[in-house]
Amino acid sequence: MLHSSDKYQDIRDAVRALCAEFPDEYHRRVDEERAYPEEFVDALTKAGWMAALIPEEYGGSGLGLTEASVIMEEINRAGGNSGACHGQMYNMNTLVRHGSKEQRDFYLPKIAAGELRLQSMGVTEPTTGTDTTKIKTTAVRKGDRYVINGQKVWISRVQHSDLMILLARTTPLAEVKKKSEGLSIFLVDIKQAVKSGMTVKPIRNMVNHETNELFFDDLEIPVENLIGEEGMGFKYILTGLNAERALIAAECIGDGYWFTDRVTAYVKERNVFGRPIGQNQGVQFPIAEGFIEIEAASLMRYEACRLYDAGEPCGAQANMAKYLAAKASWEAANACLQFHGGFGFAAEYDVERKFRETRLYQVAPISTNLILSHVAEHILGLPRSF
Ligand SMILES: Cc1cc2nc3c(=O)[nH]c(=O)nc-3n(C[C@H](O)[C@H](O)[C@H](O)COP(=O)(O)OP(=O)(O)OC[C@H]3O[C@@H](n4cnc5c(N)ncnc54)[C@H](O)[C@@H]3O)c2cc1C
């Protein structure tokens, strides 16, 4: 197959070898128990993969987003779900690029050593949804502290992370020239916050994704936990969101290959009407179509990562990669479920689990409609709709 070999083969082989120690049964059990894949994430951390984006001087591997995307792709391709641990990857560059020297010196070596996890990012709010600049969570400076009040929703991995990057408004919307101004990002020590003003309420959801509602009631955080300049947080968070989109694209590509590999093997073996079902073109074509789209999405992913790693604008490519990859994996998922017939619905085949997991990416971290809107307005110059 086209995707079996590229210049990242060494990384692919190493991640595949680690993932092979966590077979389908492991991920199935974790899903059934609604548990966190602690042993799997630990193994990835110990092998250094979760420190891929940390510069070598801080004990990481100093790799780029491209390599990080290959790691995420391989996890999903092996039947796992990077959603349990991708936060550290997309949050990392926010800290590396915008954090102060003191923040980098203090946190990066500990994260690289696996002593701390930076797995959470708190952006989404219940009453404002995708309209991020309207968020209502506020951070008000009082001496050497910021006092946080407000609410977030769908904030993932909070119970399995030590640190969270939090977006809050530091200047009221009415007092800024542009709505993207006056927002700031903070590094929150989760364990400390839970003791002093942050409440975590888990949300049971369709996938086994540890995600939560957060309530902030006069949570105080030290001023030194502000990342970068006050008021510039939206710009910083966009860097992280572009990284997130490129990485999610890679995860969808991994899922897409998983579905394609599984269904291809199945339709060769399954005999109905005296021949393999895979001999029928009605079965072959949707599988081939999904595969073509995954390969195309993968190229856009590489382009988004290349630009990101070069420090160039990559918003358009990261969004388009996420759009193409989420669509491709969803089509591959449908073909895989369809051609497994009734067995696609049986938990022991893992298709229904992966089907649920990959469906998320039509909605989060950014919905398909919002990507289309970004392309229409910002790339094609069509009139602004909101
Ligand atoms: C499992 C899970 C994990 C998540 N993890 C995190 C996390 O860790 N951190 C975090 O900050 N957030 C997280 N999110 C939130 C996620 O990013 C949002 O759910 C997503 O961005 C969509 O926002 P919303 O749910 O508020 O939908 P809304 O903004 O309410 O939109 C709902 C739907 O309406 C449509 N829509 C909205 N506006 C328009 C428009 N102008 N034009 C056309 N269509 C439109 C879109 O199709 C969209 O899907 C997570 C969500 C889920 C489900």
List the domain boundaries for the chain. Answer: 2-117, 119-231, 235-379
Residue 3 has what pLDDT?
55
Which ligand 1 atom minimizes the distance to the CA of 123? 11
CB distance 257 to 77 below 8 Å = yes
The residues lining ligand 1, judged by C-beta closer than 6 Å to any ligand atom, are 121-124, 129-130, 154-156, 205, 209, 211, 360, 363-367, 369, 373, 386
Alpha-carbon torsion 191, 99, 314, 170, what sign?
A: positive
Which one of 124, 158, 375 would you pick to mutate in the ligand 1 pocket, going by the greatest count of ligand atoms within 8 A of its CB?
Answer: 124
Which ligand 1 atom minimizes the distance to the CA of 365? 17
Q: How far from 50 is each of 54, 75, 103, 119, 217, CA to CA, in Å?
A: 9, 12, 19, 10, 32
Which pTM was predicted? Answer: 0.97
Q: Is 38 helix (H, G, I), strand (E, B) or coil?
A: helix
The DSSP code for 383 is: P
Q: 295-326 in b/e burial notation, b at 16+ Cβ within 10 A? A: bebbebbbbbbbbbbeeeebbbbbbbbbbbbb
CB distance 60 to 108 below 8 Å = yes
Report the interhelical angle of 24-32 vs 38-46 (nearest 10°).
130
CATH top class, domain 235-379? mainly alpha
Q: Find tokens 């990101």 and name the residue.
A: 308
- Alpha carbon of 30 to ligand 1 centroid (Å): 26
Residue 6 has what pLDDT?
79
CA proximity to 379, closest of 322, 324, 317 = 317
Fold observed for domain 2-117: Butyryl-Coa Dehydrogenase, subunit A; domain 1 (1.10.540)
Measured distance between the N- and C-terminal CA atoms of the chain, rounded to whole angstroms: 44
- Alpha carbon of 280 to ligand 1 centroid (Å): 39
CA proximity to 333, closest of 285, 272, 267, 286 = 286
- Please list the rounded mean pLDDT of every run of 10 residues in the chain (386 residues): 73 98 98 97 97 96 97 98 94 94 97 97 97 97 98 98 98 96 98 98 97 98 98 94 96 98 98 98 98 98 98 97 98 98 98 98 96 97 95
Which ligand 1 atom minimizes the distance to the CA of 362? 49
**Other CB atoms closer than 10 Å to residue 50's CB: what's the count?**
29
Residue 41 has what pLDDT?
98
Homologous superfamily of 119-231 in CATH? Butyryl-CoA Dehydrogenase, subunit A, domain 2 (2.40.110.10)
